[in-house]
Structure 1
């Protein structure tokens, strides 16, 4: 294992267009659980690619088999200029590769990348039933801002969403009041 607790045969690298089918398959597998995302079907690659920030997309890859094991990517929370330092992210790990430190390594790489770019707030909305996702974020320094009750209509029922947030200890500190 390396310093992040990830097995040395797994590496984190920027997500590539060639990863499209694997990224979307992992996304769909997560959506199929009913607790990993708000959608029920993964988007097309064109829609996925167009919505995510290009500089903060990472993939976890098995160095031996070259299988894509997980990914992380972010979307801006708003197009308004005052929110340029705030993003919402998603992290997904292939079934069978979970609980091996892959999500932790992806999130760590993502945090370093966003801080280097001056992004000061990371947020994510997680269903309360997604205990693994909540633990992952808490271990990475995210705090629970609150629970949005009956916030989304998902699979024909109202669902609560836990809003998680991580403020950078360094990015954005040059702005007054932050």
Structure 2
């Protein structure tokens, strides 16, 4: 499949939000239970590190960073979110998005990328491992879904070999 990795634009939001909803509906991609407004979503994500995979102007997936803290000592640390449309999973799009997001994060002076992945989301855990992340721990029963089921999250981290720690 031919696709490009591009900077996410406001005009991509409609398709991005649909892919996000597909992730919500899996029950293992996020603890979020509804799609936020664009403004809410926009305020929670790093402006310089937002990517989409597109084929013929159709968004296939997206990868973005969120700040981990407002404290200045964490300015080089960000949380990864990556979602692939259900019809495009397993085609290498996630790996391409992650590789580009890592490169972009380093260009923007992020030295640590982290993810908290619901333990049952083994595909995401494997993707992160393939892209240089390591498991650093598990948070047991950290959040309960609306259906009453508790989930553990696997904490993963990738340290840049390029960006100097300030």
Q: After TM superposition, is the score higher than 0.5?
A: yes
> Match for residue 17 of structure 2?
24
**Is it true that 1:14 corresponds to 2:7 in the alignment?**
yes
1:133 to 124, 131, 148: 124
Structure 2: stretches of 5+ with no match in the other structure: none
Q: What is the SS of the residue equivalent to 1:54? A: coil
Partners in 2 of 1:50 and 1:21 — Cα distance? Answer: 17
Deviation at 1:55, TM superposition (A): 0.5
Deviation at 1:117, TM superposition (A): 1.3
How does 1:10-159 map onto structure 2 within 5 Å? 10-62=3-55, 65-155=56-146, 156-159=148-151
Deviation at 1:157, TM superposition (A): 2.2
Aligned residues: 165
Runs of 4+ aligned residues of structure 1 deviating over 3 Å after TM superposition are: none
> How big is each residue's C-alpha offset from its partner over 1:51-88, in whole Å with a ceiling of 9 and x where there is no partner?
111100000001xx321000011110000000000000
Structure 1 stretch displaced more, 154-163 or 127-136? 154-163
User: 1:59·1:72 contact (CA, 8 Å) conserved in 2?
Assistant: yes
Using the size of structure 2 for normalisation, the TM-score is 0.96
Q: What is the SS of the residue equivalent to 2:34? A: coil
Partners in 1 of 2:42 and 2:109 — Cα distance? Answer: 22
User: 1:119·1:172 contact (CA, 8 Å) conserved in 2?
Assistant: no
User: 1:148·1:160 contact (CA, 8 Å) conserved in 2?
Assistant: yes
> How big is each residue's C-alpha offset from its partner over 1:27-60, in whole Å with a ceiling of 9 and x where there is no partner?
0001100000111111111111111111000000
Partners in 2 of 1:144 and 1:163 — Cα distance? Answer: 6
